[in-house]
Amino acid sequence: MKNMNDIQFGEGTFDELYGHKIIELKENFIRTEIEITSNLHQPMGLVHGGLYSSMAEAAISYAAYFTQDGTWVGVNNNTDFLKSSKEGLLVCTASPLKLGKRSQLWEAKIYNGDNLCAISKVRLSNLNA
Amino acid sequence: MKNMNDIQFGEGTFDELYGHKIIELKENFIRTEIEITSNLHQPMGLVHGGLYSSMAEAAISYAAYFTQDGTWVGVNNNTDFLKSSKEGLLVCTASPLKLGKRSQLWEAKIYNGDNLCAISKVRLSNLNA
Amino acid sequence: MKNMNDIQFGEGTFDELYGHKIIELKENFIRTEIEITSNLHQPMGLVHGGLYSSMAEAAISYAAYFTQDGTWVGVNNNTDFLKSSKEGLLVCTASPLKLGKRSQLWEAKIYNGDNLCAISKVRLSNLNA
Amino acid sequence: MKNMNDIQFGEGTFDELYGHKIIELKENFIRTEIEITSNLHQPMGLVHGGLYSSMAEAAISYAAYFTQDGTWVGVNNNTDFLKSSKEGLLVCTASPLKLGKRSQLWEAKIYNGDNLCAISKVRLSNLNA
């Protein structure tokens, strides 16, 4: 497993653009955060649905990249929106449901405080398999 | 149906942040575009998967908002990633698969030139039903 | 909440055809079982993927019908197949992820012994809302 | 490509149990049918949702098995239910959205006469990749 000290999404990436930060990364687990700002809203003043999908996609892709053998790319992102948010801190935790050599399935849950805002499954395919 | 001349995603929204533009909007149809820039990439230099999910989510939510009776919010976004992109113009077109009074299902296809990059289904629920 | 003593899927239904039995039903929870027989296989001798989808669909629809106000119908069934089965007892447990008045999201997990064979989300829409 | 004359789902399989028949199978296309009988209903007298999922799962798995190189198994089945059915003939047609060597995505549409009853995406993984 690669060294995961101080891993971040990297300068100039989409994750930097929307303020996505990695808080904790270890084998089969990642936790990331986004501080909600108004430029992450849709016009009704709520967090844009795509932000939850993006957060889950990135968190899971990073976790697989750094903790799994192989070169993993997302092939499907299925996100359910459970509760809307206006402000505060979004906290995403993700872990695997199925770790195969060719295909993996991970699940992310995104909370704002005690509220479960979104739940997402991301399927990854191994380009090296 | 509301007046759809010159409708855009609006200043200060997430869609403005990632450069999402509405090109055409009419009953049961929307076409939007994003010019790919490097700050929409993930670290491998490819368009971030979350961008496709966001593009579909916003395009479909807008189309439902402006062309359907009711107040529609996305409850699920299911996006399949079919082909990666590095640069160029992403073009999203969306139209409904099922128009109910309480629940609607729309599908978006996102192309880069002739390549179908992503296909997405978004389910919407009517807050007024 | 309706009386849930001795509730079963009913004579002459598809669930009876494939041997689906309700074991336990209480508020926000259902447990059902299928004893695997060879006529539930696909040609390679494994349990047919559609059986897992059907089991989750029925378990969740029943649980919503008997424990929730409203008339609930499934609008989406998203099932991931994690491990194949040949024989033994499939045990499905399901509970809600989100209980809305118009839309509900439930999750089912199907085990064969200690193996998680399938995980399924079913979204329900309330015909009375 | 294997010989596809007179291919059927086979004796003793789940598909036989629920009356699933292959009508046409050629490269990247399959058409199958089910004559609705009352033992395919749920208790409200409508076709059981799991039947649509099963029909799509089997049609797509067969089409991949007989027309694609590799050994393909379903890893995800995502079915949207658009219109209910009581009686008549269900006709399923399926074709690929993405043909990869490791992962494939197919889509099935299930009609009853002119009504689109269900639409389903099935993702397949190649055990030989």
Chain A residue with minimum CA distance to D76: A123
Contacts of C81 (CB under 8 A, 6+ apart): C49, C52, C117, C118, D73, D74, D75, D76, D77
Q: Do D50 and C58 touch (CB under 8 A)?
A: yes
> Which of A78, A103, A129 is the closest to D75 by Cβ?
A103
Residues D23-52: tens digit of each pLDDT? 999 999 999 999 999 999 999 999 999 999
Residues C103-122: tens digit of each pLDDT? 999 999 999 999 999 999 99
Residues D52-90: tens digit of each pLDDT? 999 999 999 999 999 999 999 999 999 999 999 999 999
Residue B28 falls in which region: left (phi positive, over 0), alpha (psi -120 to 50) or beta? left
Q: What is the pLDDT of residue A75?
A: 97
Q: Do B14 and A18 touch (CB under 8 A)?
A: yes
Q: What is the pLDDT of residue B129?
A: 75
- Through-space distance between the first and last CA atoms of chain B, rounded to whole angstroms: 18
Q: B17: helix, coil or strand?
A: helix
Q: Give the C-alpha distances (Å, rounded to integers) separating A95 from A100, A120, B12, C115.
A: 14, 11, 33, 18
Question: CA C128, D90, B60: angle at the middle one, nearest 5?
Answer: 55
Residues of C with CB below 8 A from A80's CB? 97-98, 105, 121, 123
Residues A3-44: tens digit of each pLDDT? 565 688 889 999 999 999 999 999 999 999 999 999 999 999
Chain C residue with minimum CA distance to D9: C43
Q: Do C80 and A119 touch (CB under 8 A)?
A: no
Asked casually if ipTM beats, i.e. exceeds, 0.90, the reply is: yes
Residues of A with CB below 8 A from D100's CB? 125
Task: Answer whether residue A95 shows pLDDT above 60.
Answer: yes
Compute the nearest-CA separation of A104 from chain C (Å). Answer: 9
Q: What is the pLDDT of residue D129?
A: 75
DSSP class of C63? H
Chain A residue with minimum CA distance to D73: A103
Q: Do C13 and D48 touch (CB under 8 A)?
A: yes
> Which of D14, D54, D73 is the closest to C41 by Cβ?
D14
Q: Residue B71 is encoded by which pair of tokens?
A: 């107040």
Torsion of CA A83, B102, D57, D43, to 10 degrees: 110
Question: CA B50, A83, A115: angle at the middle one, nearest 5?
Answer: 105
pLDDT band at D128 (very low <50, low <70, confident <90, very high): confident
- B25 neighbors B63 (Cβ within 8 angstroms): yes
Q: Do A105 and C80 touch (CB under 8 A)?
A: yes
Chain B residue with minimum CA distance to D80: B105
Mutate to test the interface with A, among D79, D103, D121 (most CBs of A within 10 A): D103
Compute the nearest-CA separation of D33 from chain A (Å). Answer: 29
pTM assigned to the model: 0.95
pLDDT in tens, chain B (129 residues): 455 656 888 899 999 999 999 999 999 999 999 999 999 999 999 999 999 999 999 999 999 999 999 999 999 999 999 999 999 999 999 999 999 998 999 999 999 999 999 999 999 999 887
Residues of D with CB below 8 A from B78's CB? 78
Q: Residue D114 is encoded by which pair of tokens?
A: 């002119």
Residues of D with CB below 8 A from B82's CB? 97-98, 105
Q: Residue D117 is encoded by which pair of tokens?
A: 């009853």
> Which of B82, B97, B119 is the closest to D82 by Cβ?
B97
Task: Answer whether residue C2 shows pLDDT above 70.
Answer: no
Q: What is the radius of gyration, based on Cα positions, of chain D?
A: 14
Q: Residue B76 is encoded by which pair of tokens?
A: 């699920």
Compute the nearest-CA separation of D96 from chain A (Å). Answer: 15
Domains of chain B: 14-126 (3.10.129.10)
